[in-house]
Amino acid sequence: KAGFSTTVEEQMKEILEVTAGALAQVSEDLKGKIEKEKKANPSKPAKIVAPPTAPAPAVATSDEKEVGAAVVDGKEESKEGSFVTKAVSNSVNVVSNSVTAVSSSVSAVGSAVQSGVAGASHEFQGLLDKAGLSGDKKEDSKEDIDWALSAHNPGGVPRILDESVNALPVVILSNFAAKNAGKKEDLLDVVAGWAASLVENKIAHVIVISDGRENMRRLAKALPSKPLLSISLGDADPATAMAFVRSKISALGPAQGLTPEDEAWIEKLGGRASDLDTLIHKVQNGLNVRDAVQTIVAQGVGELRKAAFGDDVDDAKDLPWKPEQAWSVLKALAKHDELSYAEVLLEFPFKGDEAALRAMEHAELISINATDGLPISIKPGKPIYRYVFQRLVNDNIFRAVQDIAYNNKAIAAEEATIKKCEEELLTLKTIGLDVGGSVFGGTGATGSRATYLLGKMRDSQEKIVAKEKEVKRLKVVLSTLGAEPPKA
């Protein structure tokens, strides 16, 4: 209807409106079928949507980025999207008509969600056992299962849902606001608004699969009247990751096996499925485990250097964070498993620049762990990045160049502080002269303020002296190594 003369956003809205109409029709058809069944069998209880009895997925509960291999419906799954869709689809009827926002920034199904789905499945089978039913669709009719559940579960637990809710179709928005989205922000807002309208008008359940936790804000803005349920996905635990690699490598032949040294190298990769797949591929091509892991780390160094600092100065200017910000976090994470989010945010070089940290998380340089929706700690974006960061920091030339640039920025920040203090001291001096006295050394309000500013200037000056001495030392190191220091 909109035509090609209108904006892309308007065309998208028209397309989604047609889709919403089709979904509404599907919902009405399902409601009609339920009503017919109720009229045809008035003595039968309301239809009950029970969770499936598939085994709980074997995944970790960390806050990292990707899901490892898992067994779902009897099949091995290692792709994040396939696993997420199945896992969430299995539990969507338990969620009722909430909007489910599934964040993979990040992030495996949390242990609470896993135990909840598994517990509901176990309880469901227990009710069938009481009624002498197996739960097998081939052996038990739907009517018998419905009767068993209603007879042995009269309290009306959340699995017994309103027919109108049961009739709602399920819409899954995959790869919502994926990285490198570019200038598609307006289109994402249109899709978010459309998803919100489906929920508000009770047209469909909506499941959103995204690669970043920050996209929750876009959805929450589109649907302010309802809370969003977030399920985080993460890396496989060490035991699962090791079992996955062992099974794949053992399939290559009886001569293939893992030594304790091999397992130590594999542990460096963590539970990231993509890194484990890369390892297996390299082993299949003839590399041993040690060389394969070292190759992955070396490739990660090159990729990270380009992603965090750009190819050149002009490229670095286009990054949503400053080079000194990236270097400060990477250097700290090379020494520590995790950092305090609050401390990093409040200190130089961030000084409250939360957007830079969020951008680094979206680029998968770091992972921000949250508790109750509040950011608590910062970890490497992938488990292997811990060793990539260490490799970068141990590069003497690269470390010296970045430390010089970092110290120059820190010196400039301290000089700016001193200049502000000097300007305020001149103002205070004028105030003191106006009242016929000297502001310095006084005991009044202006005197106390002047004393504070002088102390602040002294601290900044001491930091400048220390950092300038460090810059001179680093320049000597670079000259010894035959490299040129960066321009201030």
Ordered per-residue pLDDT tens for the chain, 488 residues:
555 678 888 888 889 999 989 988 888 888 788 778 778 876 655 444 433 333 333 333 334 343 333 333 333 333 333 333 333 333 333 233 333 332 332 232 233 333 333 343 444 455 445 444 444 444 445 455 454 444 444 444 444 445 667 778 899 998 886 555 555 778 888 999 999 999 988 889 999 988 777 778 788 888 888 888 878 778 899 999 999 999 988 887 765 678 899 999 999 999 999 999 999 999 989 899 999 999 999 999 999 999 999 988 888 888 999 999 999 999 999 999 999 999 999 999 999 999 999 999 988 899 998 887 789 999 999 999 999 999 999 999 999 999 999 999 999 999 999 999 999 998 888 876 554 555 555 667 888 888 899 999 999 999 999 999 999 999 998 888 766 656 55
Distance of CA 80 to the CA centre of its chain: 13
| CA–CA gap between residue 410 and residue 404 (Å, rounded) | 10
Q: Identity (one letter) of the amino acid at 35?
A: E
Contacts of 338 (CB under 8 A, 6+ apart): 369, 377, 378, 379
174-170-121 Cα angle (round to 5): 100
- φ, ψ of residue 405 to 5 degrees: the values are -65, -40
**252 and 283 Cβ atoms separated by less than 8 Å:** yes
CB 191 within 8 A of CB 174: no
Q: Report the alpha-carbon distance of residue 294 to residue 390 in Å, rounded.
A: 13
pTM of the model: 0.65
Distant-in-sequence contacts of 421-430, Cβ < 8 A, 24+ apart? 421/453, 421/454, 421/456, 421/457, 421/460, 422/457, 424/449, 424/453, 425/450, 425/453, 425/454, 428/453
Rounded to an integer, what distance in angstroms lies between the CA atom of residue 321 and that of residue 431?
Answer: 41
Q: Are 289 and 283 in contact (CB under 8 A)?
A: yes
β 205-210/170-176 pair status: parallel
- On whether the CB atoms of residues 271 and 101 are closer than 8 A, the answer is no
Torsion of CA 406, 411, 417, 422, to 10 degrees: -170
CA distances from 396 to 297, 333, 380 (A): 17, 17, 21
Cis bond before residue 349 (omega within 30° of 0): yes
